Amino acid sequence: MNNFSRRKFIKSGVSGSLLLGLPGSLVAGYPGTADHESKIKVGIIGTGNRGTWLMRELLKIDDVEITAVCDLYQDRADRAVSICRDTRNQNPQIYSDSKNTWKKLLDNGKLDAVIIATYWDSHAEIALYAMENGIYPGIEVPAALTVDDCWQLTETSEKTNIPCMMLENWSFRRDNLAALNMVRLGMLGEIVHSHCAHSHDCIDHWFFDRNTGEDRWAAEYLVRYNRDQYPTHSVGPVLSWLDINCGDVITEIYSTATASKGINAYMKRQFGEGHPNAKRTFSQGDIVTSLLKTKQGKTIVINYDMQLPRPYSNRWMLQGTLGIYDEEKGSIYLTENSPRYHQWELWQPYEEKYLHKWWEEGSDGGHGGTDFIMLREFINAVRVKGPVPLDVYDSAVMSAIVELSGISIQKNKPVPFPDFTKGKWKDRKPYFGLDKIA
């Protein structure tokens, strides 16, 4: 499916289902209706690889118009405009004259939503400014790098009644949503534990140039910090599986890190002993393991694993009183379904049987279609001026792990985890991806 039509959106009744998931503290400001004949005007801030990728996905949605693009580099902005012209005959305005030119884009009063795909340290600042201007921010991960910025995001969203969504695409994966349906049907019983990871060797393309070994922009964080730099792809789906912020809340985090060996070893292997990065001291440990505890007695283990040679894996595992799901094995065991005692079953038939409605509607594009579904549901929310599918509280929890894991490693002890809902978790009902419920 290349385009998601306005007619199909209206027939699906999605506006009503979105409003069911609206956080109680944000209800008052939403009219819940929109002019369905109007274009949804979207700006893109950051038109590098990721921002351009997301823009291409948005251009597949019929009533989206990219009206503005912004980047520090003129050639990237020009490329984005060319893509819009060639794909949908759209001609967005370019903002590229200074570091803070993104403020001009958000001040022009013509946007419904903005996609923020800049470097990590500017995500929160831009999102806050967008909400103050009445614009829905869709923020690339992580939404913020400090706990203070996470608090500012939640409090500004509450104050302005503008939803704020971090674009955590792995929450929208086909397999993760099918698992969520099974959890909500009670098939795994009461959930007590989950494991997750971001195991992705990024040394040769994200942190450093693969041809020269020179620093890319993210290398700075490996020099300065020792923490889980990238927890959101790990823990994103876990929050909905465990009803975090909707009946339960994380109370503390304890993180520990290995020594830093992988970066130096890679540089010696690829570029020789004399390369500057072969001898450089990096703060970042190769593996960071975090243990999180919840008020209701659940535990979550998260692994950061981005500096050692390995194939990609998220190693999701979900364990309850009636069974266990293991994504890496592609297997599941259910006491009431599995035919043999303590024998794994293949996961794939279950994924097909409990396919989420978002995937039944069809998908197309990046990361197996996940990016398109995420953006389609974000635009659906903007269209009806309703709640976003992944809310500001969950965005804050995922992002806060970055700084809190570093504090815990430094202190070598557990540290408290803030309750960004300020107690509302006790009464909030699960809202993400509501579909097949017993």
- Give pLDDT tens digits for 322-332: 999 999 999 99
Which three-class secondary structure string do you get for 297-317? Answer: CCEEEEEEECCCCCCCECCCE
Q: Report the domain count for the chain.
A: 2
pLDDT at 9: 34
Q: Do residues 164 and 188 share a domain? A: no
Residue with tokens 């020594």: 259
Residues 260/284, Cβ–Cβ less than 8 Å: yes
Q: Please check whether residue 268 lies inside any domain of the structure.
A: yes
Q: Of 153, 123, 121, whose CA–CA distance to 395 is shortest?
A: 153
Which residues are CB-neighbours of 176 under 8 A, at least 6 positions away?
A: 170, 236, 237, 316
In angstroms, rounded to a whole number, what is the distance separating the alpha carbons of residues 134 and 10?
Answer: 24
At 29, is the secondary structure helix, strand, or coil? Answer: helix
State how far the Cα of 336 lies from the Cα of 330, in Å rounded to an integer.
19
Biggest CA pair distance of the chain: 66
- The end-to-end CA distance of the chain, in Å, is 30
Tokens 């909707």 locate to 246
Q: For residue 233, which of 136, 326, 312, 344 has the smallest C-alpha distance?
A: 312
- pTM for the full predicted model: 0.91
The reported pLDDT for the residue numbered 37 is 60
Q: 377 in a domain, yes or no?
A: no
Q: Which residues of 232-255 are buried (b: 16+ CB within 10 A; e: fewer)?
A: bbbbbbbbbbbbbbbbbbbeebbb
Has residue 384 been placed in a domain? Answer: no
* DSSP secondary structure, 148-202, as one string: HHHHHHHHHHHHHT---EE--GGGG-HHHHHHHHHHHTTTT-SEEEEEEEEE---
- Among the candidates 168, 197, 225, a domain finishes at 168
CA distances in angstroms from 227 to 283, 291, 334, 403, listed in the order given: 9, 13, 35, 7
Q: Are residues 220 and 300 in the same domain?
A: yes
d(CA 377, CA 163): 13
**Residue 13 falls inside a structural domain:** yes
pLDDT attached to residue 342: 80
- Indicate whether 432 belongs to any domain: no
Tokens encoding 168? 């955590």
Position 366 scores a pLDDT of 66
pLDDT at 30: 38
Claim to verify: residue 291 and residue 322 sit in the same structural domain: yes
For residue 100, tell me if it sits in a domain: yes
From 118, 149, 168, give the residue that closes a domain.
Answer: 168
Q: Is the sign of the CA dihedral 55, 380, 34, 6 positive or negative?
A: positive
Q: What angle do CA 30, 90, 48 make, to 5 degrees?
A: 85
Phi, psi of 244 (to 5 degrees): -65, 135
Can you give the pLDDT at residue 3?
A: 42
Same domain assignment for residues 229 and 146: no
124 with 240, same domain?
no
pLDDT at 336: 83
In a domain, 373, yes or no: no
CATH number of the domain that 145 lies in?
A: 3.40.50.720
* Segment-wise mean pLDDT, segments of 10 residues, the chain, 438 residues: 36 37 39 60 97 97 97 97 98 93 93 98 98 98 98 98 98 97 97 98 96 97 98 98 98 98 98 98 98 98 98 97 97 88 92 95 76 97 98 98 98 98 98 86
Q: Are 51 and 115 in a shared domain?
A: yes
pLDDT tens-digit readout, 336-348:
888 777 899 999 9
Whether 201 contacts 309, CB under 8 Å? yes
Among residues 387, 374, 428, 122, which one has the least CA distance to residue 233? Answer: 374
* DSSP code for 206: I
Is 438 within the bounds of a domain? no
The reported pLDDT for the residue numbered 432 is: 98
DSSP string, 32-57: ----TTS-EEEEEE--SHHHHHHHHH
Residue 252 belongs to what domain range? 171-359+391-426
Residues 106 and 185 occupy one common structural domain:
no
User: Among 168, 201, 221, where does a domain finish?
Assistant: 168
Q: Do 150 and 210 fall into the same domain?
A: no
